[in-house]
Chains A and B, each alone.
Chain A
Amino acid sequence: MALKAPSQGHPWLASVLLLTGWLLALQVMAEAIEVRRFESPVTEQRYQSLTATLRCPKCENQAIGDSNSPIAADMRDKVYEQLNDGRSDKEIIDFMVQRFGDYVLYNPRLEGRTLLLWGLPGALVVVGGLALWAIIRSRRRVSVRQLSAEEQARLDELIDRERRS
Chain B
Amino acid sequence: MKRRLLLLVPLVLFLVLGAFLYQGLSINPFDRESALMAREFPAFELTTLDNPQQRVDEGDIKGEVTLVNVWGSWCPTCRQEMPQLLDLADRGVRLIGVDYKETAASDAEKRAQGQAFLTQFGNPFAFNVFDPLGSLGFDLGVYGAPETFLVDADGIIRYHHTGYITADDVESIIMPEVEKWR
Contacts and interface: CB of A to CB of B under 8 A. Distances in A.
Interface of B is mostly: loop
B29 A60 contact: yes
Contacts of B1: none
Given A70-B101, A74-B134, A101 B32 contact: yes
Interface stretch (B60-68, B77-85, B122-130, B136-144): B136-144
Contact of A100 (B29, B101, B134, B141): B141
A78 B29 contact: no
Contacts of A106: none
A113 B182 CA distance: 32
A71 B144 contact: yes
A101 B157 CA distance: 15
Contacts of A58: 143-144
A78 B140 CA distance: 14
A97 B35 contact: yes
A103 interface: yes
A98 interface: yes
Contacts, number: 31
Given A58-B144, A71-B144, A99 B36 contact: yes
Interface string A42-83: 000000000000000110100000000111001000100000
A97 B39 CA distance: 13
B33 A100 contact: no
Interface in A83-103: 97-103
Contact of B143 (A71, A78, A102): A71
Contacts of B143: 57-58, 69, 71, 100
Interface string B95-106: 000000100000
A97 B35 CA distance: 7
B34 A101 contact: yes
Interface in B20-41: 29, 32-36
B32 A99 contact: no
